[in-house]
Structure 1
């Protein structure tokens, strides 16, 4: 009984911090387009491609909005990543976050409106494909197709693939994760912690290379879909992929990511010239080989929080400075590392600050600055005919809530 009482009191404690729950939730897109989303898994094994696609859509009054956290296994993965008890955490996470929806229409039809530029998005360490929906929804509402890859390098808190059934009795599949074939069963892959005595750079460097390869495979898959090639989605879906034919502007492709995903951006730019530019959010530079930096020829935009970085991390970013290739950096005052994922919108003010999900800046202001600066940069370097240049000043940190460059002092000799 003591344990149950503790759990109940803990939930009461968290609920008190979320007393303005009606104000919580992922903000809808501010652009002129309604947003749809769907999941795509091609190849049922661990070597396949898995992504969440966001796109401008035609919505119906009956359109369903998907759950922000797709199923309980993702709660378990978050608990493992945070080194928390699974049973207690699942109940707490489910209570806190289980009712939230993504502001996008599930499996809605693509809106035919010319060719849309394309963005591949890479999540951070311990995250997964749905946790950056505020950014992805906003970009889609502004007329982009955004593919949020779910990485299978054991850096996601949880992900899954399928294997063929062996005839043994298995658990029934989740209703929202059902595969097209009854002969497949889910295989879950959780975050892998660093082993005792293991060299972290070796692990993270191997992972960032795999992550870049997964982003490039996702891009190649979308290029095939754009050409009219039929797609074999492992997941049951009502989405009509044939409508994606000839809808992407393959001359205007960018890569974007947060933290470990920011490092993935740089690795992608090195490996694939189809990416015309990159937006790297609060990038964790540690996994990267410095030797690749001279091979990166595309523009990069670093958008940093004020509280995450240290001198060595900024020094690595500054090594990518170039006299001929645009490289920009801004810092959002009062922002923290978790100002970029959706969690910042899901908790009340003081609980959010205790859990370091919120900074001193209003999370909606921080997200608007991030999104608008990103849109201005994308217009400039994808050569878009839009009105995003109204936010050009943000690229140079010209706002009361921004700094040009970094808030840290970095000696030139260190670079």
Structure 2
């Protein structure tokens, strides 16, 4: 595509992949918290529709729309203005950058193909074999459940400044291994910008990134701190996860034609009534459903798993470089409320998202499902934060298998598409790992976890003595020149901190 911006590489699993956008109205529009936007006087957190991009195994023998989904949301000028606001940059400068570097970036697959009709018909070469750091691996087996015609489901939650496409490489790679990935675009003001469409498909309102100075509070109400407001955003995120699951249930129950008619992202080339009707009975939403997320989406994953089986059906979770500050520490709500450093507003049990609770018997917030956590080097060297994440992982002990590891040489954005598209930016911001290697290793670890290959090349690694605490002696500390010492080892290798 160019010397500065690269094309997104093809997915490397044995399945062809396609995508479809769904924006569906929720049954009960509602707001969260007391904050209102100064600019409009309306609730800051309002849920009217849920927006997801589905990445899924596709039937390569049948055509789709003939188009590839753009990586950057249209209209370009409006989205560029959202990123400028988030980054504190001049809108004209961001617009120039977007038109020069991102306008032509598209996902590497044809959109709106039919979902794979059978696992055998879908298993077709979608690109070169996937390559790990030590060997080349070709997936010969299919995803769990594919043998009986269903595909496991992964719901993905993005981080701050993220969208439903900024992790497209991870989502597409997982889909190419036989999973349906539902990537949510949260409307909680944590992304750069998102548009809500009306019944006619036209823009109804815009959700900008929300800063504390954008909010006003009712008379007599104490304004929440930024961290406390993040907790209210988490409540809305959990509701969006529930709405996403409901949309998937409708597809699986044979309501695809109805979903297609109510889809506010439909176009003349979108999957029509019959295309979505073919999704009936194709999703495993009982035994093979997974919650995953990056950064603030990692916090969302923790809270979804903590809510338990009475609220969500998830059987396991993946947290990529989770940002743990907005959530209470493990192991229980009772301990959280007794810790003076956390306000009760950090977590408010909601009967729609949490197990039943009372003042005398708060719900347990321990995670009891298998959990995979992959940290960046930078988040592990952030020692106070590592302790928070480690506490959450430790609370899983004896309840389910769990892993905590770090990728040497990675930074927080190494889990997104950005380093693949602009490796020069990743390098200038501290990444030492090759972007394609980083993606391959992260996907390989997740693939082993999703298939329960606990003795695999990555998950089977042992914890070396001393690595339980995260950084080794001297790592993260300043040297004689004032620079912080990085992790030892080869960039791209995984350092295991907790295993099983």
Residue 90 of structure 2 is aligned to residue 89 of structure 1? no
Q: Aligned partners of 2:13 and 2:468: how far apart in 1? A: 26
Match of 2:228 among 202, 209, 217: 202
CA shift digits 1:164-215 (9 cap, x unpaired): xxxxxxxxxxxxxxx6x27x43311110113398512211111112112211
| Corresponding residue number in structure 1 for 2:418 | 343
Structure 2, unpaired ranges of 5+: 30-46, 119-148, 215-222, 334-363, 476-500
Q: Aligned partners of 1:394 and 1:63: how far apart in 2? A: 38
| Corresponding residue number in structure 2 for 1:49 | 50
RMSD of aligned Cα (Å) = 2.6
| Corresponding residue number in structure 2 for 1:406 | 470
Q: 1:404 to 1:143 in 2, by over 3 A?
A: farther
Task: Provide the secondary structure at the position in 1 that maps to 2:327.
Answer: coil
Q: How far apart are 1:225 and its partner, in Å? A: 1.4
| Corresponding residue number in structure 2 for 1:316 | 388
Q: Aligned partners of 1:93 and 1:271: how far apart in 2? A: 39
Q: 1:316 to 1:62 in 2, by over 3 A?
A: closer
Q: Check whether the contact 2:445–2:458 (CA below 8 A) recurs between aligned residues.
A: yes
| Corresponding residue number in structure 1 for 2:209 | 191
Q: Aligned partners of 2:64 and 2:266: how far apart in 1? A: 22
Q: Check whether the contact 2:54–2:181 (CA below 8 A) recurs between aligned residues.
A: yes
Residue 395 of structure 2 is aligned to residue 394 of structure 1? no
Q: Aligned partners of 1:406 and 1:120: how far apart in 2? A: 28
CA shift digits 1:230-275 (9 cap, x unpaired): 3121222421210111000122000110000000001111225210
Q: Check whether the contact 2:65–2:110 (CA below 8 A) recurs between aligned residues.
A: no
Structure 1, unpaired ranges of 5+: 1-14, 164-178, 381-388, 411-415
Q: Aligned partners of 1:399 and 1:107: how far apart in 2? A: 44
Map of 1:167-182 to 2, 5 A cutoff? 181=200
| Structure with greater proportional helix content | 1
CA shift digits 1:119-146 (9 cap, x unpaired): 0000001111110000000011100000
TM score, norm. by length of structure 2: 0.68
Q: Check whether the contact 1:398–1:404 (CA below 8 A) recurs between aligned residues.
A: no
**Structure of greater Rg:** 2
Tell me the number of residue pairs that the alignment of Structure 1 and Structure 2 aligns.
Answer: 362
Q: 1:188 to 1:61 in 2, by over 3 A?
A: closer
Task: Provide the secondary structure at the position in 2 that maps to 1:139.
Answer: helix
| Corresponding residue number in structure 1 for 2:145 | none
Q: Aligned partners of 1:199 and 1:216: how far apart in 2? A: 26
Match of 2:8 among 22, 26, 39: 26
Q: 1:404 to 1:79 in 2, by over 3 A?
A: farther
Residue 370 of structure 2 is aligned to residue 299 of structure 1? yes
Q: Aligned partners of 2:328 and 2:437: how far apart in 1? A: 34
Q: Aligned partners of 2:299 and 2:55: how far apart in 1? A: 22
Map of 1:99-138 to 2, 5 A cutoff? 99-113=104-118, 114-138=149-173
| Corresponding residue number in structure 2 for 1:69 | 72
TM score, norm. by length of structure 1: 0.81
Residue 189 of structure 2 is aligned to residue 154 of structure 1? yes
CA shift digits 1:18-69 (9 cap, x unpaired): 7365xx2222211111110010011187422110111011244983211110
Residue 449 of structure 2 is aligned to residue 377 of structure 1? yes
Q: Check whether the contact 1:37–1:55 (CA below 8 A) recurs between aligned residues.
A: yes
Match of 1:227 among 253, 256, 271: 253
Q: Aligned partners of 2:454 and 2:10: how far apart in 1? A: 21
Task: Provide the secondary structure at the position in 1 that maps to 2:451.
Answer: helix
CA shift digits 1:326-375 (9 cap, x unpaired): 221110000000101111111143x4322x2x610101111111001001
